[in-house]
A = this chain, B = another copy of it.
Amino acid sequence: MARKLSFLLAINEAMHQEMARDERVIILGEDIAGGAGGSAGNDEAWGGALGATQGLKTKYPHRVLDTPISESAFIGAAVGAAASGLRPIAELMFVDFMGVCFDQIFNQAAKFRYMFGGNAITPVVIRTMYGAGLRAASQHSQTLYPLFTHIPGLKVVVPSSPYDAKGLLITAVRDDDPVIFFEHKAMYELEGDVPEESYSIPFGEANIVREGGDVTVVAIGRMVQHALQAAETLAAEGIQIEIVDPRTTSPLDEETIYESVESTGRLVVVDEAHPRCSFASDVAALVAQNAFDALRAPIRMVTSPHSPVPFSPALEDVFVPSPERIAAAVRDVLGAKSGSRR
């Protein structure tokens, strides 16, 4: 697998392949093509706000739909279409916009199967951009996957590499349950090996991104990249961390996390989300409940602060958990004899 592809193009390729494979797959969202109704008569001017849906409209004109700015209506339409025979991929441009359409996701799509006694299938995928780093300020930089992870009935995918992004998106499209697919906007240009052929990666199977015996670092999404950077610094100091990337927060591969903690005895959880009721707290709590006896030191959570995302580069750069903060937390759990207060 020598071919390199960016995170963005890996996602794009997954959609191209799935649309070719299954004509029930449709794509809808704001400016995913771009140009409809414009004076240039060009129906695919953008291919998505940052280009993730390039080329799809041209290839599948009737199955790729630009939408008005009406997230409730079109996310709901994706859900209704999924319940009635299609397999839509809807794009919620930024996850920050969930607040105008969350009902269709968490009360409708997520609950149909249960409320209706197993009498429903809702194979909808909602792709959405998350994360800080582009100086996009408080309403365009949030992480928010903890909110979706909390909701029974949703599956939540947070890929950390181009390879995973393609394979997990293909799985998402083929999955019969509603899936929320998180794409970090600061990762789109990240390159990595991506096979040309179609492949799928199962949900709920963690990836041990790096092996190491000293400390288990659970990280997800862009934080896996930061953990990898921290690993290099630490390796130079003789500290070997094991990086576990759950890849999906729901379902969560708890076993792999417990096994790693059982071998290292120490846990750091890295999460770009705010700290409270976060994915970091979720993993930390599960370990404190189910692998407690393996722990030889306090668990450390490395998260963004309990504050909105700031605009200024001077502040945003210290907002996101950095490789340095991860490395410090690792040193901390190795050195720590007692749990000190934050």
Binding site for B on A (CB under 8 A): 72, 96-107, 110-111, 114-115, 137-139, 146-147, 149-153, 249-250, 252, 258, 273-274, 276-282, 284-295, 297-301, 305-308, 310-311, 338-342
Q: 8 closest A-B pairs (Cβ-Cβ)?
A: A99-B103, A292-B298, A284-B285, A292-B339, A281-B285, A288-B288, A99-B102, A146-B277
Q: Once the chains are docked, how many angstroms separate the CA of A295 from the CA of B299?
A: 12
Whether A104 touches B115, Cβ cut-off 8 Å, given contacts A277-B277, A289-B300, is no
Decide: B289 and A284 in contact? CB cutoff 8 A.
yes
Contacts of A114 in B (CB 8 A): 138, 307-308, 310
Whether A276 touches B139, Cβ cut-off 8 Å, given contacts A99-B103, A107-B99, is no
* A101, closest chain B residue (CB): B99
Most buried by B among A282, A306, A340: A282
* A255, closest chain B residue (CB): B341
Contact of A152 among B281, B286, B299, B308 (CB under 8 A): B308
Decide: A290 and B111 in contact? CB cutoff 8 A.
no
List 18 other contacts, CB 8 Å, given A277-B282, A288-B295: A72-B100, A99-B107, A100-B103, A107-B139, A111-B308, A114-B308, A115-B137, A115-B138, A150-B276, A152-B305, A152-B307, A277-B278, A282-B285, A284-B284, A285-B288, A285-B301, A290-B341, A292-B339
Q: Once the chains are docked, how many angstroms separate the CA of A147 from the CA of B277?
A: 8
**21 cross-chain CB contacts under 8 A:** A97-B103, A98-B102, A99-B102, A114-B310, A115-B138, A115-B311, A147-B150, A151-B274, A152-B308, A153-B307, A281-B282, A281-B286, A282-B285, A284-B285, A284-B289, A287-B288, A289-B339, A290-B342, A292-B295, A292-B298, A292-B299
